[in-house]
């Protein structure tokens, strides 16, 4: 729910992403954070990889905005909308709380055509 009280790092993560402060966003996660990508099978691990991925995502998504927020005792879901090129994207950031900071970020996106374009653009940024 927009404006819900957040006792975890989700509100701080959302604020950091909305303000473009990737360093602050990444600092909210534990050193051994696990990132689960919408387009890559293997999990990414660690703050350095997470920072690289978020940097590429910032360069790829246009008009990114969070639209809804849902919370529970061990995590939060932040729903978002954006564009990748001419494709509209809907997705969620699933944040898992852990002792010592956020422990996992899982991203899911739809539709498939936008996810495919996202994969192509992110791969070019991350390999270059």
Residue 56 sits in a domain whose CATH number is 3.10.450.50
Most confident of 62-66, 96-100, 115-119: 62-66
Range of the domain at 15: 10-127
CB 82 within 8 A of CB 65: yes
Q: Is residue 50 part of a domain?
A: yes
Q: Is residue 5 part of a domain?
A: no
> pTM here?
0.87
Average pLDDT, the chain: 89
The arithmetic mean of pLDDT across residues 43-68, rounded, is 94
Calculated CA dihedral for residues 49, 42, 108, 111, nearest 10 degrees: 120
Query: pLDDT tier at 78 (50, 70, 90 boundaries)?
Result: very high
Output the furthest CA–CA distance in the chain (Å, rounded). 40
């Amino acid at each position: 729910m927009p404006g819900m009280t957040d006792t975890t790092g989700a509100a701080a993560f959302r604020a950091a992403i909305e303000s473009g402060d990737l360093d602050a966003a990444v600092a909210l996660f534990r050193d051994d954070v696990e990132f689960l990508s919408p387009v890559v099978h293997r999990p990414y691990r660690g703050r350095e990889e997470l920072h690289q991925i978020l940097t590429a995502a910032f360069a790829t998504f246009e008009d990114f905005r969070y639209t809804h927020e849902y919370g529970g005792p061990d995590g939060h879901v932040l729903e978002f909308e954006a564009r990748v090129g001419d494709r509209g994207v809907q997705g969620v950031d699933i944040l898992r709380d852990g002792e010592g900071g956020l422990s996992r970020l899982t991203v899911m996106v739809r539709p498939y055509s936008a996810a495919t374009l996202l994969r192509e653009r992110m791969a070019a940024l991350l390999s270059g």
